[in-house]
Amino acid sequence: MEKFVLRYFNLIRAVIAVVIGIVISVFLIYLVSKDPGFSLQQFLLGPILSRSRFSNVIETASPIILCGLAIAVAFQARQFNVGAEGALYLGAAVGTAFAVSTHMPAFLHIPLVLLVAAGVGAMWGMIPGILKAKWKASELVASLMLNYVAYYLGLYLINFHFRDKQAGYLASYQLPRTAWLAQFIPDTRMHWGILISLAMALLVYLFLYHTTSGYEIRMTGFNEHFARFGGINVFKVVVLCQLILGLLAGIGGMTEVMGIHRRFLWQSQGHPGYGWDGVVVAIIGRNHPLLIIAASFFLAYLRVGGQVLNLMSDVPAEMVTVIQSIIILLITAEAFLSQWRYRIMVRQAARQEVAV
């Protein structure tokens, strides 16, 4: 039993964290709701009670997966670039501008638009990388500040040059149909973006663990001195991993525009926030592409559950956010339950003593 606990400690810890999070949620819902049983059911089971809601979970997970992968590539090299949000925003804005001003058949249009968004994202992600590699500027601060620059640049581009004045609300022109990612399940908004995300997760996994460049990134993250000592070009790694971060985030933003709204309309609703969700799932998934998929679905489930709760019950939106945050906080706490594991290890050690 104890050996089992030591072996699967991280998994067990995650499960316990979720359970505790839910217990706290139950308590909070009982505090604010007149019909707590119904509210709770909506929160926990809402996302799987209808096809369209379940589709919502998958749609929401799709850009989160891409942003999680983006952050993970940088974090694996121990570069704390949190610029996924900016790269996503600017990549999607420029990609939208490109899509509405060009005409070509879909088999060319879709990849070209994605390529433009990816390229813009990559350039954007690279800036903190170069600042870090050349002048040791903190990539954390640089990427944080550049998020604002990206936001207002994108806003300017769409609002002053590509705004659809007939739309009746603040949005870009609609993308030509040739640049749409098709929604392939009736009555849902499920679109091809999720397949792009899953394919990218596989690609990133292969890149990190089965290519020389991925090896360079991971070794630099484990120990930069060791990487330099062994002959790895750390300068290149620092720039490359952040370039890839921007590239993936750019695709994440663009698929969302091409698959769901078919317009750029993030100017009225503020930041989409997927870049930040990406940081959360990268941490929960320990920067591993395949775990990030699971973490993204988990987070998307929480988000949709929150929406359902907000929509169907009397629990206010603020409380929904509090509940979500508590669950995430518990999962990401590294030292949570570490004393428990330590006591088990001590007992195991003492037992070995008897055996010897």
Partner 1 sequence: MEMILEARGILMVYPNGVVANRGASLEVQKNSIHAVVGENGAGKSTLMKVLFGMLQPQEGEIFFKGRKVQLRSPHEAIRLGIGMVHQHLMLASDLTVAENMVLGVEPRWGQLFLDTRKAQEITERVSKEYGLPVPADRKIKDLPIGVRQRVEIMKALYRNAELLILDEPTSVLTPQEGDVLFATLRQLKEHGKTIIFISHKLKEVKQIADRVTVMRDARVITTKEAGELTEHDIAYLMVGREISFERVPPPASVGETLLSVQGLSYVNEESMRVLNNVSFDVRAGEILGLAGVEGNGQTELVRILTGLLPAASGRITIKGRMVNGLSPRGIRETNTAHIPEDRMEDGAAAEASLQENVIVDRYYKSGFSRGLRLLWSSIFRHTQELIGRFNILAPSPRASVASLSGGNIQKVVVARELSSDPEVIIASQPTRGIDVGSEELVHNLLKEARDRGKAIFLTSADLDEILKLSNRILVIYNGELVVHFPNTAQLTGKDLGPFMLGVQREEAVSGKVRP
> In the complex with partner 1, which residue's Cβ is closer, 262 or 288?
288
> In the complex with partner 1, which residue's Cβ is closer, 231 or 270?
231
Q: Which residue type is seen at 8? A: Y
Residue 97 β-bridge partners: none
User: Minimum distance from CB of 339 to partner 1 (Å)?
Assistant: 9
CA 23 to chain centre: 26
User: Minimum distance from CB of 218 to partner 1 (Å)?
Assistant: 7
> In the complex with partner 1, which residue's Cβ is closer, 101 or 223?
223
DSSP letters of 148-187?
HHHHHHHHHHHHHHSB-TTSSSS-BPPPPGGGPPPB-STT
Residue 183 β-bridge partners: 191
User: Minimum distance from CB of 266 to partner 1 (Å)?
Assistant: 35
User: Minimum distance from CB of 207 to partner 1 (Å)?
Assistant: 8
DSSP letters of 34-45?
SSHHHHHHHHHH
> In the complex with partner 1, which residue's Cβ is closer, 31 or 346?
346
Buried b (16+ CB within 10 A) or exposed e, 158-168: beeebbbeeee
Closest CA to 190 of 258, 259, 250, 241: 259
User: Minimum distance from CB of 283 to partner 1 (Å)?
Assistant: 16
> In the complex with partner 1, which residue's Cβ is closer, 291 or 327?
291
User: Minimum distance from CB of 111 to partner 1 (Å)?
Assistant: 22
Q: List contacts with partner 1 (CB under 8 A).
A: 210-213, 215, 218-219, 222-223, 225-233, 338, 342, 345-346, 349-350, 352-353
> In the complex with partner 1, which residue's Cβ is closer, 45 or 206?
206
DSSP state of 267: T
Closest CA to 150 of 217, 65, 81: 81
